[in-house]
Amino acid sequence: MTVRTIRLLGRGALALALAALAVACVATLGCSRADKQVEQGLPAWTDEEGILAWAHVAADEFNERDYQAVADRFSDKGVTADQIKEGLEETQDAYGAFTGYGEASFLQGESKGRSYATVVQKAHYENGTGEFRISFFEDGTLAGFYFLADRQES
């Protein structure tokens, strides 16, 4: 199975990430001190319905190719719409139109002393199934936005 992961954090870092812990840790935010380990579930400041609503708004903006709206959600204002477009537009072209969401699960952790929640959300497209991993800080800003793509799976 070929998985292409595109991660946008910091100043446009693009990297391959295959493990959920690597994604959920939000390592590119600089987990240089001993942060809380990534765990299943959500922090006390949110619930499944609330965090899923935030994630779907960001994923829908991505699916509509509103890269500026996604960039504006990042806590790191160095992330630009052009970086998102350059990193993900080719994958979007290959996948075709979004057709719906699948299963979701939830993770929580800490980065630089800030609690975050991650939604791991399956997403179905005309030409395959992908997976969003979208992390938020308590103030609603994006901590991480990942799309793991696998066109072989449908």
pTM (predicted TM-score): 0.75
Q: How crowded is residue 127: how many other Cβ atoms within 10 Å of its Cβ?
A: 14
Please report, as a single letter, which amino acid is at residue 141: T
Measured CA to CA, the distance from residue 52 to residue 95 in angstroms comes to 22
pLDDT the model gives residue 105: 97
Written as tens digits, the pLDDT of the chain (154 aa) is 333 333 333 323 333 232 233 333 333 344 445 677 899 999 999 999 999 999 999 999 999 999 999 999 999 999 999 999 998 999 999 999 999 999 999 999 999 899 999 999 999 999 999 999 999 999 999 999 999 987 454 4
Phi, psi of 134 (to 5 degrees): -120, 125
Fold assignment, 4-150: Nuclear Transport Factor 2; Chain: A, (3.10.450)
